[in-house]
Structure 1
Amino acid sequence: MAKYLYRLGLWSVKNRIKVMLGGLLVVLIAAGMALSIGPAFNEASSIPGLKSQEALELLGKEFPSPQEYGGQIQMVFKAPDQEKLSSELAQQFISNNLKEVAKDKQVKSIANPYENNSLSPDGKIGYATITYNVSADEVSDESKDIVNHVVESMRDAGWKAELTGSGYVPKVTGGSTEGIGIIIAFIILSITFASFLTGILPIVTAIIGLVVGLMSVLLGSNVMDMGSSSLSMAAMLGLAVGIDYALFIVSRYRQELARGYAVNEAAAIANATAGSSVVFAGVTVIIGLAGLAVAQLPFLTGMGIAGAICVLTAVLTAITIMPALLGLLGERVGPKRQNRLFKVFSRKSKSEGNDSLWGRFVTGRPWAIVIVGVVMLSVLAIPFFHINLGMPDDAQKSTEKTERRAYDLLSEGYGEGYHSPLVILATTDGGNESAENLAKVYEWLNTLPNIGTVAPAIPGPSGKVALISVVPSTGAHDIKTKELVQMIRDQAPDIQKQNDVEVLVTGSTAVGIDISQKLNDALPKFAIVIVGLALLLLMVVFRSLLVPIKAVLGFVLSLAATLGFIVYVVQDGHMGNLFGFHAPGPILNFLPIIVVGILFGLAMDYEVFLLSRMREEYKHTGNARRAVLAGIKHSGGVVTAAGLIMVSVFLGFMLSEEAIVKSIGFALAFGILFDTFVVRMMIVPAFMTILGKSAWYLPKWLDRILPNLDIEGESVMEELENKKKAVRPMLRAVADERTTGL
């Protein structure tokens, strides 16, 4: 692989103008196609295999929604002290304000609190349902401004009035998250290379790859199920890995210039060596993302494919565009200065050429480093054992948001269970005893624990299916609500035998519980697939048995610490305000599987970049400790810079108001933080020191079977050295002839 990348790099640097113009043309074509066709994101894709799916399909057939059902906004009221909504004065006040809303041409109908029977038991709280003649995402800003103006006037009159519902989608500010990440990355790169010009190179190539990748995702949304959040996650990943991959190639290029190679040769060597690591690292990330399809959830598969597309374009851009850019700038990005970060990893001691401050510290006390690192990550992992999965809702938003205040008013008026309704479908044979049997089911439901209210059964048109609405006494994310759903399902077979009534549970709450369970079931299979493939790839790359096992165990540690810290902050509510989480809530149900897939790939990135330099040194010297020191010296600074860039990019996405993007950004930021600075820069070199030469052991029979990928570029460097040796006698002969002639 290194030879092919060497030739590609040499061709790219020699044809740099053509490559740059070609890259610009690809960007323009991709953007033109994507913008002309447009995206087709699907936010409501079906989810096969759920326990509630059968009931959901039956519900759609027996109780179909109106064909022209539009977006809705709930206007939630609370009367002032000493007043109730049932008073004539309150009724007139509400009626006058709703008349203002009715003037909007987009409004189809309004059901006031007296028509929809929404008065709370104490008569203080109720809501009006405003239905529009357009879908929820098409409710105009002007319509939202009207309802906002009405609730403001009600507040001025001493009432509490808030808004929520599918039609009230708050304006989400976009663009700033990516911009903040890029600015921080530029600062880190400029400090790393002690040059503003060099610092901007990785950002340029990352943006080129990101634009092509995102345009490809937009096109891909037309042929497969993808949610709009797929685009945000793809942008997050594409930007982070794009900068990192370019960073490694630039860093190696500067090292080769320092060794005396010319610009073209240095760029080609960097592409052969660091570029090989980039390709392998990118493949590892893509495997992790593509493995999300194991969960068999269309929206999750779409996320994985979108991310994989952006990672692929980041790899291709790094190994084609970057050599051309290096050829254009030449010596201007050379290693003229070195910053303090690199000095920590590369400063030499008097005794050993590969020694450095950090290398000497880690290899001098390896057992202590390993024990401290493992204990620290293990402690962080403890909260993971009481993780509670779910989907975030308005309860996790800031109290400055009207949707959160509406949520709190509804909870105050009708209890927490208002937000976690269950739909029970009872199927009978339609015979004479059906009504009596349904009555027994109704009585049975009322005897279950954690039941708030059970509405009378509503018969369907067929006469064989009845709908029973159940409101638990606890919220959607409470473990007692999940236990209630499971209890109904566990007892349903007995009820069918006794009363000849089949009982099915569905509704948004039950669907959310089923999705979480499906993801939990898929996680072990997913982990086995990607870890197995990664073990095989790492074994091929490093020609070792212990190095791949150590890499995977290190990942398990960082993953456990990451998930534990997420639970501690997001679910348990500790330090939540510091990170923008306004209230404790469940962990996003697909976050663990997303984190496993993405974090595994990114963790293996740094493992490859760090260990490839160690193996390169070990093959030349046979000295295991010297190999560890060389890996830290040559790759420690750049891995640290890359980790900081990754963390800054993901932290930037935490500023998003979209709960899914915020949660993923938070998890990946701290996952990379733990993995880079505790596992890869502390535990890995310390453990490699302890293992010594045994770290690189591979049975001869296995060595013969495994293909040789040569990501260190050893074959390329040997050819270059042979060329030098062949040229030297010729140069000496020419010099001798000149001397004789004189």
Structure 2
Amino acid sequence: MLSTLARAATRRPLTVIGLWAAFLLLGFGLGTGVFADLSDDVPDVPGTESDLADDYLSGVDPTGESVTAVVAGEAVSDAALRARVERTVAEVREIAGVAEVPNPYTTPGLTARDGQALIIPVTFEGGLTDEAEETATDAAVETIKRIDAPDVHVSGGELLGRQLGERAQQDVKNAELISLPVVLALLLVVFGGLRAAALPLVIAVSGIAGAFLGLFAFSQVTDISVYAIQVTTMLGLGLAVDYALLTVVRFREERRYTDDVVEAVHRTVAAAGRTVLFSGLTVAVSLTGLLVFPSVFLHSMGLAVAAVVVVDMLAAVTLLPALLTRFGGRIRPSRARSADEEGRVFARLARFAQRRRVAVLVTVVPVLLLLALPVSGLRIAIGDARQLPSSTEARQLYDTVDAHFPKGTGVSPVVVVLKPGTDPATADRIRALAPNAASRDLPGGNTVVELQPPGTVDGTAATGLVERVRELRGDEPVQVTGVAARLVDFRAMLADRAPWAALTVLAAVLVLLFAFTGSVLIPLRTIATTLLSLGAALGVVVWVFQDGHGAGLLGGEGLGALSLTAPPLIVSIAFGLAMDYELFILARMREARQRGDDDHEAVVTGLRRSGRVVTCAALLLAIVFGAFMTGGFSPILQIGLGLTLAVLIDATVVRMLLVPATMALLGRHAWWAPRPLRSVHDRFGLREPATPEHPAPTSA
């Protein structure tokens, strides 16, 4: 298959380049339309009680979405300000689609006790079309923003999703502006020439276009989270650089032995292309574990990110060979080195780890387990506006309300739906769970009870209130929804489906690694060492962003819990990236064994020839992740830190020390498989013919 792709790319390189150019235009043209349709409804899980109750209310409740405005910065008792506010309230009430706007001066709780701020909630009519609701929202915001006061902030509802989408788009642009020049500079250092350094960036841009186009396609059939933009773009950019770096390094190596560019491309694709193919499949499979979860957010993220990985993989085995065919003759071959000189540092590390394998294991493994220890106290939450950078509208509104109003003001209530047939005694007991419980009757004999929890919207008090209502109701026709209820249901979904997701991914990865190596023990060893680096990275994220140790240095703060988006995405993506580097090394080990090296020397040769690529790739990927962390959005900070640490720990400590140590312990059994499985691999294993050994280099 790879030989066929290589021949097609070298026979008609301009055609292949032209097709990819059209894809790029489509991605950056049509694909960027996804920014206009992003959702912040991450915790929704179809079929859960909170989701069913919310759908039920949407059909019977005449009220719709709402936005909240806060006016602050001067005494609200000022007669001129009061006149401006009341005039604005009257104008907003006249906007088509607006259902209710209470007067903050006559409605209890909407004016701060210190007299320095007031809140204006705007509720829209239910049943509005998306276009009508957007028009009404824009008109209301424009009217409120005309209030002449030092601080006027509006957010919430459909408006919040738009604000987050705009912020996501800006963060992506800033990250690209930061990361691409730095990546290019490092690639210039690695390759020593602009042409070779530019090729990985071309593939990276293709990955970004694929990210946008994939997200736009999925947005037509499902909701796309605001988090998806940063995550898919950072992964698409990072993996594209990884695959292109591996391929270009191999091409420069092949050019040492032939002046025929087409022949060098064929040999490159036969060797490095096979690694890229398996790596892309393995990373994609690791991410499709997210499809096991019924959450719309996780489901769409799994599909979108896996699609981006496939785009990167295809670009590396089609576009890059075409570019090398067209421009590779101008790329300098890598400098010939003697066997002792090539990769000396990595060879020494490998031999050290082999000689001191027990010492390495008893030193490295406990350290990684210690770093992973905070994971035992991991908590997840939906979070509030504190996750956002201080420059965002929603965060400014939150900070203003928090500064002038009692704690808990504006916290979403626990919403209880009492359907016809509910025992009045049960209803009374539910109302008694929170002071000042608000009730309202809806058509069809339904009653909605809103219980205001103390603390945060998704704290232990709020989630405990949900669980107490569900205990009290018994068999009564009572349903609970709201932010806290969605969090309770999301946690239950994760606990129920996570084991199945893990089994699905592990089984698929074991099959792919067996197809790549023909070994049973190497895949098991790979998964064990990968889980160590993954646990260590996630443990540090918990220690920083949940417990608050040094979060301020990264532009965040300790929130007492991680965003519910972070752990599943860190685990799935980091696991896939670890497989990426493992395959880079195993490919070189396998080549060495095929050429006659013994098992110990094959490990040394594998690290000698892949160590530089793996280290450079990990450093470049860490730069990409770090650039996305400059946006200050806490969930992206968490994901970025987790992936950065996972990549660096895995590419250094695990691959350079644990891999040779464990391979030395396994010895000749490392590549073992039972005879029936060996026959299966010989017949069905996906492989290319072994690349013949090159003659020894004769010149520097």
TM range (shorter): 0.7 to 0.9
Q: TM-score, normalised by structure 1?
A: 0.82
Q: Which residue in 2 is equivalent to 1:291?
A: 289
Counterpart in the other structure of 2:427 = 441
Partners of 2:85 and 2:242 in 1: how far apart?
Answer: 56
Quick one: structure 1 residues 416 and 28, their matched pair in 2 at CA, closer, same or farther if it must change by over 3 Å? closer
Q: CA-to-partner distance for each residue in 1:625-667, whole Å, 9 max, x for gaps?
A: 2111101110000011111111111111112355444433333
Alignment-mate amino acid for residue 700 of structure 1: R
Q: Say whether 1:346 aligns with 2:342.
A: yes
1:693: how far off? 1.4
Q: Structure 1 residues 379 and 704, CA, compared in 2 at 3 Å: closer, same or farther?
A: same
Change in Cα spacing, 1:475 to 1:309, as seen in structure 2 (3 Å) is same
Q: What's the offset of the Cα at 1:388?
A: 1.3
Alignment of 1:591-740 (within 5 A): 591-707=566-682, 713-715=688-690, 717=692
Distance 2:245 2:319 in 1: 13
Farther-moved stretch of structure 1 (35-44 vs 25-34): 35-44
Which residue of structure 1 lines up, in the alignment, with residue 443 of structure 2?
A: 461
CA distance in 2, matches of 1:231, 1:592: 17
Give 1:242 deviation, angstroms: 1.1
Runs of 4+, deviation exceeding 6 Å: 35-39, 101-107, 132-136, 139-143, 342-345, 709-712
Aligned to 1:95: 83
Cα offset for 1:547? 0.7
2:68 aligns with 73
The residue aligned with 1:165 is: 156
Q: Match of 1:544?
A: 519
Partner of 1:129: 121
Per the alignment, in what secondary structure is the counterpart of residue 655 of structure 1?
helix
- Partners of 1:631 and 1:148 in 2: CA distance: 63
Mapped to 2, the partners of 1:348 and 1:660 lie a distance apart of 40
In structure 2, what is the Cα distance between the partners aligned to 1:42 and 1:544?
44
1:367 shift after superposition: 2.6
1:554 aligns with 2:536: no
Secondary structure of the 2:444 match is coil
Conservation of the 8 A alpha-carbon contact between 1:289 and 1:307: yes
Q: Conserved in 1, the CA contact under 8 Å of 2:529 and 2:654?
A: yes
Conserved? CA contact 2:6–2:266, under 8 Å: yes
Displacement after TM superposition at 1:484 (Å) = 2.7
Tell me, yes or no, if the aligned pair for 2:515 and 2:685 is still in contact at 8 Å. Answer: no
User: Which residue number corresponds to residue 488 of structure 1?
Assistant: 469
Q: How does 1:147-296 map to 2 (within 5 A)?
A: 147=144, 150=147, 153-154=149-150, 163-166=154-157, 167=159, 169=163, 172=167, 173-174=170-171, 175-260=173-258, 262-296=260-294
Residue 605 of structure 1 aligns to a residue whose secondary structure is helix
What amino acid does structure 2 have at the position aligned with 1:95? A
Tell me if the contact between 1:356 and 1:629 (Cα under 8 Å) persists in the aligned partners: yes
Equivalent residue for 2:3, pick from 3, 6, 18: 6
Retained in 2: the 8 A contact 1:240–1:645? yes
**SS at 1:621's partner residue?**
coil
SS of equivalent residue, structure 1 residue 523: helix
Change (3 A) 1:659 1:139: farther
Deviation per CA, 1:417-457: give whole Å up to 9, x if none.
75141112223428xxx6xx25x6334553x5xx4x24253
SS of 2:630's equivalent in the other structure is coil
In 2 relative to 1, CA 242–401 (structure 1 residues): closer, same or farther, beyond 3 Å?
closer
Higher Cα Rg, which structure:
1
**Which is further off, 245-254 or 411-420?**
411-420
SS of the aligned residue for 1:521 comes to helix
Residue 515 (1) aligns with residue 490 (2): yes
* Distance change (3 Å), C-alpha of 1:187 and 1:520: farther
Per the TM alignment, residue 177 of structure 1 is displaced from its structure 2 partner at its CA by 1.1
On the 8 A contact 1:73/1:163 being kept in 2, the answer is: yes
Listed as ranges, the matches of 1:574-589 within 5 Å are 574-589=549-564
CA contact (8 A) 2:368 2:533 kept: yes
- Return the letter of the residue paired with 1:551: T
Measure, in 1, the Cα distance between the counterparts of 2:153 and 2:320: 53
Contact kept? 1:346, 1:357, Cα under 8 Å: no
Question: 2:81 corresponds to which letter in structure 1?
Answer: F
Unaligned runs of 5+ residues in structure 2 are 126-130, 696-700
* SS of aligned partner of 1:706: helix
Other structure's SS at 1:289 match: helix
SS at 2:255's partner residue? helix
1:419 and 1:324 map into 2 onto residues whose CA distance is 56
Structure 2 length normalisation: TM-score? 0.87
Task: Give, in whole Å, the separation in 2 of the partners of 1:61 and 1:146.
Answer: 30
Q: Which amino acid aligns with 2:217?
A: L
CA distance in 2 between counterparts of 1:26 and 1:553 reads 39
Of the structure 1 ranges 394-403 and 646-655, higher mean CA displacement relative to structure 2 is found in 394-403
Paired-residue identity, % = 27
The SS at the match of 2:405 is: helix
Amino acid in structure 2 at the alignment position of 1:509:
A
Unaligned 5+ runs, structure 1: 156-160, 350-354, 722-742
Once the two structures are TM-superposed, the CA of residue 51 in structure 1 deviates from its matched residue by 2.6
The one-letter amino acid paired with 2:673 is: L
Partner Cα separation in structure 2 for residue 429 and residue 143 of structure 1: 40
Aligned pair in 2 of structure 1 residues 344, 490: CA closer, same or farther (>3 Å)? farther
Alpha-carbon distance in structure 1 between the residues aligned to 2:388 and 2:16: 47
> Any idea what the Cα deviations from partners look like across 1:493-519, whole Å, max 9, x if unmatched?
1xx5xxxx5432211221133123312
C-alpha deviation, 1:715, in angstroms: 3.9
| CA drift at 1:106 | 6.5
Name the residue aligned to 1:118.
109
Alignment match, 2:128: none
* 2:67–2:154 contact (8 Å) kept in structure 1: no
Do the aligned partners of residues 343 and 639 (structure 1) sit closer, same or farther apart at CA in structure 2, a change above 3 Å counting?
A: farther
Q: Deviation at 1:322? A: 1.1
Q: Deviations over 1:459-484 (max 9, x none)?
A: 33323x32211112222232233223
Of 380, 385, 389, the match for 2:380: 389
Alpha-carbon distance between aligned partners in 2 of 1:217 and 1:444, rounded to the nearest angstrom: 43
Between the aligned partners of 1:420 and 1:344, the Cα distance in structure 2 is 66
2:698 paired residue number: none
Residue 99 of structure 1 aligns to which amino acid in structure 2? R
Mapped to 2, the partners of 1:473 and 1:233 lie a distance apart of: 33
Counterpart amino acid of residue 458 in structure 1: R
- Which residue among 20, 23, 28 is the counterpart of 2:20? 23
* SS state at 2:692 partner: helix
Contact 1:426 1:466 in 2 (8 A): yes
| 1:312 matches 2:310 | yes
- Aligned to 2:421, which of 404, 426, 429? 429
Q: Say whether the 8 Å CA contact 2:431–2:437 is kept in structure 1.
A: no
Cα–Cα, structure 1 residues 141 and 369, in superposed 2: closer, same or farther, change >3 Å?
A: farther
Partner of 2:405: 413
Question: Residue 322 of structure 1 aligns to which amino acid in structure 2?
Answer: L
Question: What is the root-mean-square deviation in Å for CA atoms of aligned residues?
Answer: 3.5
Q: Go from structure 1 to structure 2 and tell me whether the alpha carbon gap of 1:254 and 1:121 turns closer, same or farther (over 3 Å shift).
A: closer
Residue deviations 1:98-138 (CA, integer Å, cap 9, x gap) = 53676689795743323443247957564122468976766
Counterpart of 1:74 in structure 2: which amino acid?
A
Supply the distance in 1 between the matched residues of 2:112 and 2:215 (Cα, whole angstroms): 50
Amino acid at match of 1:206: A
Shift of 1:609: 0.8
Shift in Å, 1:535: 0.9
Query: 2: distance between equivalents of 1:378 and 1:635?
Result: 27
1:729 corresponds in structure 2 to none
